């Protein structure tokens, strides 16, 4: 069956999508919003995205990859935003395996071997 990608924006849409695919392995990449030209305000996210995308084929069958834009810079900087409070995110980009403590934060997302390890480790 392979894997499929879902693109969402904001916390409620993320939770809704994750719940819909409950039971399947869910991986999520959280990035800062992109402008009209498709560039994110978060430079690390710009670096990480192609690295992560290149490794997606390593995800187990039936996986769901959720690409989630968290919001604008001001929203992200607010220490009480829903991603920080409920998902305990500490930075963007964050790549995580939903429902597990396994995640990669910021520069860790630049490293292909770490991304691959996240997608393939038990």
**Chain contacts with another protein (rule: CB under 8 A):** 100-104, 108, 111, 113-114, 117, 121
Please report how close the Cβ of residue 95 comes to another protein at its closest, in angstroms: 12
Indicate the residue among 9 and 116 with the shorter CB distance to another protein.
Answer: 116
Please report how close the Cβ of residue 92 comes to another protein at its closest, in angstroms: 18
Indicate the residue among 77 and 111 with the shorter CB distance to another protein.
Answer: 111
Q: Measured over all CA atoms, what is the biggest interatomic distance in the chain, rounded to whole angstroms?
A: 39
Separation CA 21–CA 23 (nearest Å):
6
Q: Catalytic residue numbers?
A: 42, 45
Which candidate, 87, 84, 64, 86, places its Cα nearest to that of 1? 64
Please report how close the Cβ of residue 18 comes to another protein at its closest, in angstroms: 17
Indicate the residue among 15 and 114 with the shorter CB distance to another protein.
Answer: 114
DSSP 8-state code for residue 67 = E
């Amino acid at each position: 069956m392979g894997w499929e990608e879902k693109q969402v924006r904001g916390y409620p849409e993320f939770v809704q999508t994750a719940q819909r695919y409950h039971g399947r392995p869910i991986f999520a990449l959280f990035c800062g919003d992109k402008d009209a030209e498709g560039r994110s305000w978060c430079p690390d996210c710009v670096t990480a995205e192609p690295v992560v995308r290149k490794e997606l084929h390593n995800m187990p069958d039936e996986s769901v990859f959720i690409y989630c834009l968290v919001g604008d810079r001001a929203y992200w900087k607010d220490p009480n935003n829903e991603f920080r409070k409920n998902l305990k995110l500490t930075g963007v980009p964050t790549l995580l395996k939903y429902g597990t403590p396994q995640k990669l934060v910021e520069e860790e997302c630049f490293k292909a071997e770490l991304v691959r390890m996240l997608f393939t480790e038990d």
